[in-house]
Structure 1
Amino acid sequence: MKLSAAALLALCAPSLAFGLVGNDWSFKTAPADGLNDITFPFNMAKAPTTSGFYFAQQFNFHNVTDVGYTGLQPRPNANGKNVVHAAFSSFQAGTTTRHKNCYQGADGGPGVSCAIEVPGNYRHTYNIEVKNIGGTTWRGTMTDTVKNKSIVIGEWTLPAGAGKLVNGQVGFVEYYIWNGQPSHTCDSLPKTEAIFYNPTSKTKGASGGAVTKVYEYGDCIGKAGYKLKKVSNGYDIKVGF
């Protein structure tokens, strides 16, 4: 049975019980054995500087079953500056790491979680590159595209036999505060906004990366203040009140 993107998201990422908006992404052309790298750009210029939301893109690999994802989370300002939290995670059992920004486990299950929290500027677009650096080891790197300054989020190694990145997956906007609450009302969702730009890749033969579809999912469809606007090379997503 072929699953819809929303159903695939729910199965692949069980932590996203309170996801709000999903998106499909893919490349028009890509090598059959997969991609060596993908860059996912995000912009949080209109996101409030409070914790609670996760703007992420998900990805998976040939020859292993479970996914990874990467993205940005707003945080309260510190010392008069925006704070950018970037995450890079694998949910694949058998993933290992020795990187200082990472630890074993992902949302209470197997895998590896990596994160950084640094001063930034929400008006700037941030690229997160997922790149193979040898064998089955992958690195997540965040780049401020205005300052052209990069910082490694983390590195982890998939089990032996894991292949390259699969062409196409899904992403999401999640309000993770609700994950720890016994109940919630849709009209209590705080307002936020982010732009998900089209993915790119330096892999030979990969072209035409795009966010191809954006949609609501979860238990607040039609009740979460969802608004969508097509922008150059991506989509501006709004939710909340």
Structure 2
Amino acid sequence: MLRIAENSPLRKSPLPISERQIVLLDGIRYSADMAGIAIDRLWRKLCFLDSTEEAIQNHHIAAAALDAWSIIDAAHRMSDLVENLPGLPNSDWRRLFKQRVADALELRDMWQHQVGEAAKVVAARGQAWGALAWVKHEGGQPTGRWFLAVVGSDFKGSSWTFGGPAAAVPRVGTRRIRLIHLGRSVYLARLVRDMFEAVGCLEEDVANNRLRCVGEPVNQERSSDWIIESSIVAVVSAETTKQPDQ
């Protein structure tokens, strides 16, 4: 389970930094957490799809697609925020992260412009939301049985390569969860791990005061990530006691 630590310097960064920098750091850490939550939830849904004896309904596949594409969206958002975080040194990890998320960013652009991309999808015999491929596990171990969930209509001539490779894939575990769309394939768990690896490098930069303050500095700690409850009490009637005559 990949989550931002409670004591992460992205939550309580060394001061001073500006309010704009705080907002962008919040965006980065929430993007990573959203992706971490989505990949865990996606795997649970895929395990349901490859094991249930119930009839698979379209909303089951939609739930899986929701989490898969939310990971793509979170990676795009985080990449944009890292690229535009003022005062951050141009370290090697930033260039590596940009390279690793490039395919995901291309998918996200297609996803955001489905009207314009529809002709390409039809020509490629694809689907607006692509397809999901993964390896069934039993007892926490891969079985060698591959599954595919097609997220949309199956056209004449549609085809998918969703099995294999059996050999190890760099930075990819045994689940092999892939989002396939228009000839591109993104390993989603690897994408999430790449995001958290970049977060770790960013945390190191922030903790070691390598994030230069840009803008009006904030010189005191501020609260974050909290919930408040309130209630309204309405008095609808009041009873008065008559006072005795004096």
Give yes or no for TM over 0.5: no
TM-score normalised by L of structure 1 = 0.25
TM-score w.r.t. the length of structure 2 is 0.24
Question: Which structure has more helix as a fraction of its residues?
Answer: 2
More strand by share: 1
Q: Which has the larger radius of gyration?
A: 2
